[in-house]
Amino acid sequence: MKTTAKILVVEDELSIQTIVRTYLESAGFGVTIVDNGPEALTQARLLQPDLVLLDLNLPGMDGMEVAARLREESSVYILMLSARGEEADRVAGLRIGADDFLTKPFSPRELVARVEAVLRRRRETAVSPTTLYTFQQLAINPDSHEAIAAGQPLDLTATEFQVLLELAKNAGRVLTRDQLLALVWGSDYYGNDRVVDVYVGQVRRKLQDATGLLLIETVRGIGYKFVDVKR
């Protein structure tokens, strides 16, 4: 059974609206377009989209603020569009909780590939059998997307959850940046592996806030290792 994924596009440039609609609709997605932040927040509540394609440069409320507000109320996937392509914007966007970043000008085919990759991640998680990963400080339920640290639910974005899950599945072993990139973002990810450092840093900080412990170690020059003890 195939259900149509809903995509909310937040973009004020007409030419890009047209291209994005054409390509996403012909790839089988349901597309709703708005051209400003406040309307994006309203439509996100009404539509409950599977993914928000969010332009960074919007009149009035900018994309960063829209992303931050969306994150306050949902874990919807956010793919950010930026004309600037600056590393600083990218990292700031990811910190706020964007799941991926695409720089303008982009090829419409790449856009469709990125959207499909992000949504595939979610499907793969949804069909995995129920296996709980439990440690002294942490318990993870992949089906319900819940992570409990020191007895409290961790507030993680969808991508942060995936990062933690992969590290925990491989507890005690080092995962390289490339391995994490392939596991979480997919082997067809085009971006920079800096994204891994940003996400691992966020997950590590949230775990540390909850438990007071450093549960993700950096293995210099190689990658990261989850070090809590299995129960």
Binding interface with Ca ion (CB under 5 A): 12, 55, 57
For 86, the token pair is: 């600056």
> How far is CA 34 from each of CA 9, 52, 53, 55, 139, rounded to the nearest angstrom?
6, 11, 10, 11, 39
* Residue placing its CB nearer to Ca ion in the complex, 12 or 65: 12
Least distance (Å) from Ca ion to the CB of residue 16?
A: 8
For 111, residues 6+ apart whose C-beta sits below 8 A from its C-beta are 20, 23, 24, 53, 102
Least distance (Å) from Ca ion to the CB of residue 78?
A: 16
Least distance (Å) from Ca ion to the CB of residue 18?
A: 14
For 67, the token pair is: 């992303």
- Select the residue whose beta carbon is closest to Ca ion and give its number: 57
Least distance (Å) from Ca ion to the CB of residue 55?
A: 4
* Residue placing its CB nearer to Ca ion in the complex, 9 or 76: 9
Least distance (Å) from Ca ion to the CB of residue 60?
A: 11
Residue with tokens 């129960």: 231
* Residue placing its CB nearer to Ca ion in the complex, 35 or 116: 35
Counting Cβ atoms within 10 Å, is residue 223 exposed (0-12), middle (13-18) or buried (19+)?
buried
* Residue placing its CB nearer to Ca ion in the complex, 86 or 209: 86
Q: Strands 223-226, 174-176: parallel, antiparallel or unpaired by DSSP?
A: antiparallel
* Spatial CA neighbour of 157 closest among 99, 217, 79: 99
User: What CA–CA distance (Å, rounded) separates 62 from 55?
Assistant: 8
* Residue placing its CB nearer to Ca ion in the complex, 12 or 116: 12
